[in-house]
Amino acid sequence: MGRPQQPGSDSIGTLDLLILSCLAREQMHGFGIAEYLHSASDAFHVEEGSLYPALHRLESQGWIDSAWGVSENNRRARFYKLTPRGRKQVSVEVSHWRRMVEAVNRVIDPLES
């Protein structure tokens, strides 16, 4: 998941989708994203080694933007937020993901019943 994408490719990985969805709610710093994901589900344990390269990559693709700010405990932290393009991308990717999950479910459901 931490691997860089093909340059120019418009499709994104799961971690990217998770990050963008987090940021669609509000602007956050890296630790906040990791903590939020973890609190959402124990299944998400995001390593720093994947999180920060992903954040920087998303920024270098112009989907998110960042600026220094002050964290809740008064420390200097880098906050990320979606750019207009990133916002568009989230909605595209989310619906893509939903279709994908539905399709997969339709295939595996019969196995469970």
81 is a site residue for other proteins (CB under 8 A): no
Q: Is the dihedral of CA 11, 51, 14, 86 positive or negative?
A: negative
- Tell me how far CA of residue 92 lies from CA of 11, 59, 66, in angstroms: 10, 18, 22
Q: Which of 14, 71, 91, 95 binds other proteins (CB under 8 A)?
A: 71
Bridge partners for 64 per DSSP: 82
76 is a site residue for other proteins (CB under 8 A): yes
Q: Which of 17, 24, 78, 94 binds other proteins (CB under 8 A)?
A: 78
Q: Which of 21, 44, 65, 97 binds other proteins (CB under 8 A)?
A: 65
Q: Is the dihedral of CA 100, 102, 103, 107 positive or negative?
A: positive
Strands of 14-93, DSSP E = 28-29, 64-70, 76-82
74 is a site residue for other proteins (CB under 8 A): no
Which residues make up the interface to other proteins (CB under 8 A)?
2, 4, 7-10, 29-31, 34-35, 48-49, 52-57, 59-62, 65, 71, 73, 75-78, 83-85
